Each structure stands twice: as structure tokens, then as C-alpha cells.
Amino acid sequence: MSLHAVQTTSPERGHQRNPGFPLDLDWVERVRMNRSALERRASTIGARRSVKKQWQSAWMLKAITLIDLTTLNSDDTPGRVERLCAKARHPVRDDILKALGAEKLDIKPGAVCVYHAFVKTAVKALKGSGIPVAAVSTAFPHGLAPLETRLMEIEASVQDGAKEIDIVIERGQVLTGDWQGLYDQVKAMREACGDAHIKTILGTGELATLTNVAKASLVCMLAGADFIKTSTGKEKVNANLKTSLAMVRMIRWFHEETGIEIGYKPAGGISSAKDALTYMALMKEELGTHWLQPHLFRFGASSLLTDLERQLEHQATGRYSADYRQPMV
């Protein structure tokens, strides 16, 4: 991937959105994941080949376009959200882009992700940028409010201008094998989203087994999810490679059976450029280069952009700078 190959226009036109399918419990019961095999495969990702020089710069610029730039803190304020949106509009300093010969590329993140209370603030701050606002809804991060309340929150976020909704499932439905209940809830949430795309957060660190993760992924896709996402970022165990492999292979199986492409979003703990490139290598090797587009792959991250910009400055100047030279908010 060279600098000139970095995708800066939307390839989403012509992409068929997941219409949802009937719940196939026979398919769900056939799902099995071999933990040791996934761990062995995960240990090879990013280790067999590396990206160097200008190709590494291109991959890092590409990674920026795949970020859901996120602030989900209890002390968030309108001012913090506005500063985050300003960073989203201008994620890399002009002098760095010029030094890399990338000043004409339209580099911007995939979305800005905030709590429902800040959707209007973010929409206003991003007006005219083409960057969508994603809202975490459905009683994030636990997902245990009454269903009616969660559906109302989705509808309110969409009404305020959110183009993407990150919902959380009830982990207990997975742990008890209540696949019908999970399917019905996600389907209802998909309907409440309307034209907004829905990302289903599984909370994978709380699902006990990789087979549970894979089954939950399938049920959410059958219910109409546009993306499946690992974590809220608030669990003790967030995104990791073996869990990502289980979910990505369910996406591949789902595509083989239905022809529908589902997006994947690892979230929680991805904060370095090295980690980002490893996850991109996973997607390229397991699903192909086509999946490295914002409508099919995102990082849920709050600090990843800082390290990407820092590494890009090193590529441009040969020197590492302090983090404060790339302030986030």
C-alpha cells in the first residue's frame, strides 16, 4: 500500500446493507471455536511480515481513516467533545502531511463516537466535514435498562443526528443460551435505528468462551447488525487477537452463506500504531484488502490517533516527538 493508494473517498456506494435473516438455531448450534488453534494463529499475525518505510506511512495514514475517535468518560463536557471534533477535522499536522507527500489526501477518521448527551454538540461541530457521529446507546456499558428505555435512547440519538449507533447486548442472554431473546432484542434495536447503521457490542471479555463469542456474533448478524464489535472498553478484558479471529471468521462464514458483508470493530486497549497495523494485517489476511475500508472496519479508540501521528512525524523527520505535540483534546 503506497501513499497514493490510501483510500480517501467512500467506497460504500453499492454496498448492500445487512437486511437481517430469520434466526437459524441449527446454524447457531453448529458453531464451534477451537481456542488453542485460534491462539496459535493469533501468535503469527504481524510476525511473519512487516511494513517498512513509505508503505508503513501509508498503512498508518490508512489506520487514521478507520478510527472511531472516541470519548466516553464520566467527566465528558461539551468543550471536550468540541475539541475532539476539531481534532477529527484535522487529525494530522499539515507539516507532517507535507513532509510525507500526503498533503492532498483527505485524511479523516471514520466517525466521532460520544454519549447520547453529546450527539447534538458533535453534529454541530462536525457540520460540513463529512465525518459521521456515532452514539453509544442502550444503557452503555451494561445494557441492562428496560428494552423500551433502550429503544427510546436509540431513537433519540438518531433524531439528534447520529448516523451510527453502538448498542450493547445483554451478556446474560449469551451465557444462558437465550439466542431467541438476543435475536429479538437486536432486531428491535436495528428497527429503531432506521437508516443509521448499528454496531452490536458483544462485551466479549464477559462471554466466558470463544464459542459463545462466535455464536453471539452470528445471532447479531442474523438479526441485522451492520457491525459486530468486541467491547465497550470498560470490561477487564477488551479486544485481543484470538477473540478477533473468532469474530472475523464468523463474518467470513456469514458472507459465504448470505453474500452480505458485515463490518468488524475491535475496541478497548488499542492505543499504539503497532497494534493498529497488526489488526489491519489480521483483516487483510483473513478477509482481504477489501475489508480495510471504513464501512467494513473500524477501531474503537481514544488515544490511538496520538501515537499514529507521533509515528508519522518520526517517518517524516527521523525524530520522535513528545505526546503533547499531538494533543487530542
Q: Looking at residue 329, what is its pLDDT?
A: 57
pLDDT > 60? residue 6: no
Q: Locate all alpha helices (DSSP H) within the chain, ordered by sequence.
A: 25-30, 35-44, 53-65, 78-89, 94-100, 119-125, 147-159, 171-175, 179-193, 210-222, 241-258, 273-287, 304-317
Identify whether 10 is part of a domain: no
pLDDT > 90? residue 72: yes
Q: Looking at residue 328, what is its pLDDT?
A: 62
Q: Looking at residue 4, what is its pLDDT?
A: 45
Residue 270's CATH number: 3.20.20.70
Q: Looking at residue 276, what is its pLDDT?
A: 96
- Provide the number of structural domains found in the chain: 1
Identify whether 7 is part of a domain: no
Identify whether 219 is part of a domain: yes
Identify whether 140 is part of a domain: yes
Contact criterion met (CB below 8 Å) for 23 and 183 = yes
Q: Looking at residue 13, what is its pLDDT?
A: 64
The residue-averaged pLDDT of 221-249 equals 96
Q: Looking at residue 49, what is its pLDDT?
A: 62
The residue-averaged pLDDT of 316-320 equals 85
pTM for the full model?
0.93
- Per the model's pLDDT, the better-predicted residue between 54 and 180 turns out to be 180
Q: Looking at residue 319, what is its pLDDT?
A: 84
pLDDT > 60? residue 310: yes
Give residue 253's pLDDT band: very low, low, confident or very high (50, 70, 90). Answer: very high
Q: Looking at residue 48, what is its pLDDT?
A: 65
Q: Looking at residue 11, what is its pLDDT?
A: 54
Identify whether 213 is part of a domain: yes
Identify whether 313 is part of a domain: no
Q: Looking at residue 169, what is its pLDDT?
A: 97
Question: pLDDT digit string (tens) for 201-216?
Answer: 999 999 999 999 999 9
Question: pLDDT digit string (tens) for 183-203?
Answer: 999 999 999 999 999 999 999
Identify whether 281 is part of a domain: yes
Q: Output the nine-digit C-alpha cell for 323.
A: 505526546
Contact criterion met (CB below 8 Å) for 298 and 70 = no
Give residue 220's pLDDT band: very low, low, confident or very high (50, 70, 90). Answer: very high
pLDDT > 60? residue 179: yes
Residue 289 domain boundaries? 19-48+115-304
The residue-averaged pLDDT of 124-135 equals 98
Q: Looking at residue 10, what is its pLDDT?
A: 47
Q: What is the amino acid identity at position 9?
A: T
Whether the link from the prior residue into 109 is cis, omega within 30° of 0, is no
The residue-averaged pLDDT of 134-154 equals 96
Identify whether 243 is part of a domain: yes
pLDDT > 60? residue 133: yes
Question: pLDDT digit string (tens) for 100-118?
Answer: 999 999 999 999 999 999 9
Give residue 15's pLDDT band: very low, low, confident or very high (50, 70, 90). Answer: confident
Q: Looking at residue 300, what is its pLDDT?
A: 94
The residue-averaged pLDDT of 250-262 equals 98
pLDDT > 50? residue 9: no
The residue-averaged pLDDT of 52-79 equals 93
Q: Looking at residue 321, what is its pLDDT?
A: 76
What angle do the packed helices 273-287 and 241-258 form, to 10 degrees?
Answer: 30
- Per the model's pLDDT, the better-predicted residue between 5 and 322 turns out to be 322
Of 136, 190, 178, 237, give the one whose Cα is nearest residue 28: 178
Residues involved in catalysis: 166, 229, 265
Chain centroid offset of residue 250 CA: 16
DSSP label at 77? -
Could you tell me what percent of the chain has a pLDDT over 70? 93
Q: How far apart (Å, rounded) are the C-alpha atoms in residues 300 and 250?
A: 20
Contact criterion met (CB below 8 Å) for 296 and 14 = no
